[in-house]
Structure 1
Amino acid sequence: MRGSRRRRATNAPPIVFNSNEVALGEICVIGERANQSSRDVILRFADLLTDIYGRRLAVTFAGRNIQSCPRPSRVYLRLYSGRPPSGLLNADLRQMDRDYDIRLPAHWREPVASPAQTNGYFGYRGAVAHLLVRQAPATNLSDVERAFYRSILIEELFQVVSFGADVLKFDLDRPFLSKLQEHPVNLRNFSWYSTEFMAGLLASNPQGLCSFDVMMLHALAGSGLNSVNSPELIRFMETNFDALVRASETTISEPSYAMLLDPNCSDLPD
């Protein structure tokens, strides 16, 4: 979403960051069968979007390959717990290329660069996103492992709907305001599967959505804008600030969403 493999053709359709298109579309879960924790997060997040956007996000738990999805989806989520599935990731992207006419370079391959990553494309037949997320390989988890796997899945789901990118945060004395904020940490020397890596990543940003993130989803849904990277979104939030706060408070108070939220960043702006 943040760059291009090559210069975009002048006749390509315009890039439109339409949150409603993603939130009201379909998500197809492929790869390894979702464990209970992953399934709970995915379905609860779908419930959250249903409450905010007013229409059910269709979630399909399909098979190992992208072809097992019943139809081309706006969002694909591949889960794995063992070695990073580089071959399957790139097979997914090639199928997306055929379905959405992305026009990827012929011999290009996408690396698996982290335990959770999102690749978004604006093809000639519409926008599509692919999430690759590692899930817990076992059920007997430590508190750190349980929080880590939940956190990375929540972050990727939120980013793909909000079109939000990571926001670097250097001042640790100020509280986090959004799941998108990230304090830079150097974890290159640690295995992705190590407690040190998981604890370090957990400390670098909120473990769940902040209240402001919920407010942003309400703003994206309520504004009805075709593109979220617009000054009109800011004007909408300023005009409807009190109503957005009230709607967010109602959503946050729903007990079933507690698993998606970080209580350490629960304050709404005033």
Structure 2
Amino acid sequence: MARLAQLILFLTLILGTPATAGRAEVLELARQGWGYELRTTMIGRDMSIPVRIHGRTLAGASICLVGERPHPLTAQVINQFRSLLATVHRKPVPMRFAGPTARLCGSGRTVVIRLFSGRPPNSALTDDLFWLNEAYQLGLPRNRVYSAASPAMAQTFFGRLGAGTHVMVKQPAPGTPSALEAAFYRSILIEELFQTFTFGMDILQFDRKAAFRSKLQEVPYDLRRLPWESESYMQRLLSSNPKGLCPFDAFMLHAVALAPVEQTTSPDFLTYIERHFDDLMVRSAATVADSRFGLLFDADCLTLAD
């Protein structure tokens, strides 16, 4: 009974009174993050290949780790996120370490995650994408060299034999990271995982003093001249968006999992959210309160009722 009373209290704090508090803000964020149209793509890609964007596409897909073995912090974040996905979608998310190259991952519905802690392994990234191009017939331009533009990047390509998804993310070096490093590497990994498995887009926020409602929100900073390992880079990137997921993000995970729509970029998705708003609020509150996912959520986020 005590546990039930705690959950009821938490739901009251999150939902507010009335239960529709925050509805307009949630719908607007959902529109900005998922109501986009893919207008451009990689120069030279085969444009005849159809693109179908649905946030549930990767539900139950396996994760194949390549490159470095995961640092304990990396493993903890990924495992909690796998558990979160499995709970929301009711499908397990298998994971294995394949070794140095994505070519050892095998085909099928697989998300390739390349981990590195030093300089970005651009040659390995290029080889990974060449293999994905071959395996899924992505129609990517031949003889192109790929390089990392940031310490964390995720790309999904739509091909004639399915979609190929590749994530490359920097992790802590062996040993115990500082508090700043731990927060930084945790944050960038959570962001790439969330966007990869929901197809949510960045939402620019120009008011640097405003609190955040979603991991998708991002205050623009020019970080091009700062080394990725520098404290200045980590501090500024951490201040550009939440350090973890927000209640809104839990809300959208459930919306993506449940909405019976062909594409989550369609107006039908927003219609579903509006019609099932209260149920999604209850589901998201229970998810945020679940201690199994404690490493993933940022307590400084605004709640859905703020």
TM-score (ref. length: structure 2): 0.84
Instruction: For residue 70 of structure 1, report the CA deviation from its aligned partner.
Output: 4.4
Equivalent-residue separation in structure 1 for 2:118 and 2:39 (angstroms): 28
Instruction: For residue 108 of structure 1, report the CA deviation from its aligned partner.
Output: 1.4
- 1:45 matched to which residue of 2? 81
- 1:187 matched to which residue of 2? 223
Instruction: For residue 170 of structure 1, report the CA deviation from its aligned partner.
Output: 0.6
Cα distance 1:9–1:66, how it changes in 2: closer, same or farther (>3 A)? closer
Cα distance 1:10–1:196, how it changes in 2: closer, same or farther (>3 A)? closer
Q: How does 1:23-172 map to 2 (within 5 A)?
A: 23-172=59-208
SS at match of 1:234: helix
Give the partner amino acid of 2:230.
Answer: S
SS at match of 2:112: strand
Equivalent-residue separation in structure 2 for 1:41 and 1:260 (angstroms): 7
| Superposed CA RMSD | 1.7
Instruction: Say whether the 8 Å CA contact 1:115–1:192 is kept in structure 2.
Output: yes
Equivalent-residue separation in structure 1 for 2:193 and 2:262 (angstroms): 20
Instruction: Say whether the 8 Å CA contact 2:107–2:135 is kept in structure 1.
Output: no
Whether 1:6 and 2:43 are equivalent positions in the alignment is yes
2:246 aligned residue (206, 210, 213): 210
- 1:230 matched to which residue of 2? 266
Equivalent-residue separation in structure 2 for 1:23 and 1:141 (angstroms): 32
SS at match of 2:300: helix
1:199 aligned residue (228, 235, 240): 235
Give the partner amino acid of 2:166.
Answer: H
Whether 1:264 and 2:296 are equivalent positions in the alignment is no
Equivalent-residue separation in structure 2 for 1:188 and 1:10 (angstroms): 31
Higher relative contact order (CA 8 A, sep 6+): 2
The runs of 4+ residues in structure 1 deviating greater than 6 Å are: none
Instruction: For residue 225 of structure 1, report the CA deviation from its aligned partner.
Output: 2.4
Instruction: For residue 8 of structure 1, report the CA deviation from its aligned partner.
Output: 5.7
- 2:14 matched to which residue of 1? none
Q: Which has the larger radius of gyration?
A: 2
Give the partner amino acid of 1:155.
Answer: E
Give the partner amino acid of 1:116.
Answer: A
- 2:289 matched to which residue of 1? 253
Equivalent-residue separation in structure 1 for 2:300 and 2:51 (angstroms): 35
Equivalent-residue separation in structure 2 for 1:269 and 1:101 (angstroms): 45
Instruction: Say whether the 8 Å CA contact 2:213–2:246 is kept in structure 1.
Output: yes
Matched residues, percent identical?
A: 39
Instruction: Say whether the 8 Å CA contact 1:27–1:77 is kept in structure 2.
Output: yes
Instruction: Say whether the 8 Å CA contact 1:212–1:269 is kept in structure 2.
Output: no
Equivalent-residue separation in structure 2 for 1:134 and 1:128 (angstroms): 20
Which stretch of the first structure deviates more once superposed, 17-26 or 86-95? 17-26
Instruction: Say whether the 8 Å CA contact 2:152–2:170 is kept in structure 1.
Output: yes
SS at match of 2:209: coil
Number of equivalent positions? 269
Equivalent-residue separation in structure 2 for 1:3 and 1:31 (angstroms): 30
Cα distance 1:226–1:5, how it changes in 2: closer, same or farther (>3 A)? same
Equivalent-residue separation in structure 1 for 2:189 and 2:95 (angstroms): 15
Give 5+ residue unaligned stretches, structure 1.
Answer: none
Give 5+ residue unaligned stretches, structure 2.
Answer: 1-37
